[in-house]
Structure 1
Amino acid sequence: MISILVVDDDPHLRKLVRVHLEQNGYLVTEAPDGEAASIVLVNQTIDLAIVDLMMPNKDGFQLAREMREDYDIPIIMLTAKSTITDKAKGYQAGTDDYIVKPFEKEELLFRVQAILRRFDRASSQSIHLRDMTLDKRSYEVKVGTKTIILPLKEFELLYYLASFPNRTFTRDELIRHVWGIDFKGDDRTIDVHIKRLRERFRRSSHAFTITTIRGVGYKLEVSK
């Protein structure tokens, strides 16, 4: 599931954007200012950020510059400032797109979808791990000439971990990204699915290892 960070000091606007994006299948995290957004970015995996320009503590320009230095994710600047000077300053700070308030929520959705396609977050169809291929179109795993069909959530969990090799995820992050924010179970679900994945691929492949990070969660390591 694609994760989007919405940063704006207007709680009503954040709610409007969050609800519309969640209705269209995105996972949304809110932050009231740039400082709060920086904390979210450290602790969560974010695929795209929608950032207001004028905010207390840390404004959108500063946040965009810091994000461009530390994270390879697209940024949409959302602001009431519409002069060419402000737009130029936004793009110079590292913004990928610029939407002026007031805006149509459908337009925001179109912009999000277009940028994600360009960044290949939403449209990636396969991942290769040595002799293994994870095919998102068919939800099949191919190891050499052998094809393995996984249950949906096992595939989605493996695909998500493989999308960010060597990156540690908490159980809560994996629940939110694979099962969604409305999931009613607990984080033991992750442990069960990880165990099943390890058992399935223990003999058939040496392409990867799913490592337990004690007290934190899991990460997938590609075999050398």
Structure 2
Amino acid sequence: MRILIIEDELKMASYLKKGLTEASFTVDIAEDGSNGLFLALHEEFDLIVLDVMLPGIDGFELLRRLRKEKETPVLLLTARDTVADKVEGLELGADDYLAKPFAYAEFLARIRSLLRRAPRAVKDVLRIGELEVDLIKRRVRRGDVRIELTAQEFSLLQLLAERQGEVLTRTFITSQIWDINFDSDTNVVDAAVKRLRAKIDNSFETKLLHTVRGMGYVLEDRS
């Protein structure tokens, strides 16, 4: 997933980019409001991290102009943490507000929360490498091979395919597929992934469903 950081403090921007990149996000940086607005309007991002105190166009004005054309989720980052500033930012269309200084763990949690809530473009057919998932006919093919899945296996594959390239935690998967929260030590997700992997990966040279140790699972073509 692609994130734009609009932040004139280069040390802060580099720190956030490093952390988000390690969390498997693709990150672009704009160092002032003008360049940030241009990128936000002309490129496609899943989320924008926006500082309020920017040279040129400030964050509030940038947000005002952005909301005339796009609904990209925006997380405001700023040292201006008065109630009036928060209200102004939210009324202009910000999706969340985080005051500096902040803990990186909270920042990342807010990023992930916003991305989970963001509407996603719906496609009839999802493709990852040679794997094809038809959401309308609920059919799966890998190359010329038709793959038969149970309803639960299809739902799991759809979730992974819709978020291809994004590492999904076991907790998130259980909340989406089973609509409940299992204990963290349960193997229900691992068992479901193992069954799905046996059908979509084991008979093929290129593997698409990967385990990210200590984090979860990701569906992506790494060839």
Give the structure-2-normalised TM-score.
0.58
User: CA RMSD of the aligned region, Å?
Assistant: 2.8
Distance in 1 (alpha carbons) for counterparts of 2:138 and 2:90: 47
Number of aligned residues? 145
2:21 paired residue number: 22
1:116 alignment partner, SS class: helix
Residue identity over aligned pairs, in percent, reads 31
Among candidates 126, 142, 149, match of residue 134 of structure 1 = 126
Distance apart, 1:140 and its partner CA: 3.6
Moved over 6 A (4+): none
1:62 paired residue number: 61
User: Which consecutive residues of structure 1, in runs of 5 or more, have no partner in the other structure?
Assistant: 151-158, 164-176, 179-224
1:57 alignment partner, SS class: coil
Contact between 1:127 and 1:135, CA under 8 Å: does it hold in 2? no
Contact between 2:79 and 2:101, CA under 8 Å: does it hold in 1? yes
Distance in 2 (alpha carbons) for counterparts of 1:71 and 1:144: 32
Distance in 1 (alpha carbons) for counterparts of 2:111 and 2:139: 37
Change (3 A) 1:79 1:146: closer
2:84 paired residue number: 85
Distance in 2 (alpha carbons) for counterparts of 1:17 and 1:109: 9
Distance in 2 (alpha carbons) for counterparts of 1:145 and 1:97: 36
Distance apart, 1:120 and its partner CA: 3.6
1:77 alignment partner, SS class: strand
1:147 paired residue number: 140
Letter in 2 for 1:141: V
Does residue 105 (structure 1) correspond to residue 104 (structure 2)? The answer is yes
**Once structures 1 and 2 are overlaid, which stretch shifts more, 34-43 or 76-85?**
34-43
Distance apart, 1:135 and its partner CA: 7.6
Contact between 2:45 and 2:72, CA under 8 Å: does it hold in 1? yes
Task: After TM superposition, list the pairs within 5 Å mapping 1:60-209 onto structure 2.
Answer: 60-121=59-120, 127-128=123-124, 133-134=125-126, 140-142=132-134, 144=137, 147-149=140-142
Give the structure-1-normalised TM-score.
0.58
Contact between 2:52 and 2:58, CA under 8 Å: does it hold in 1? yes
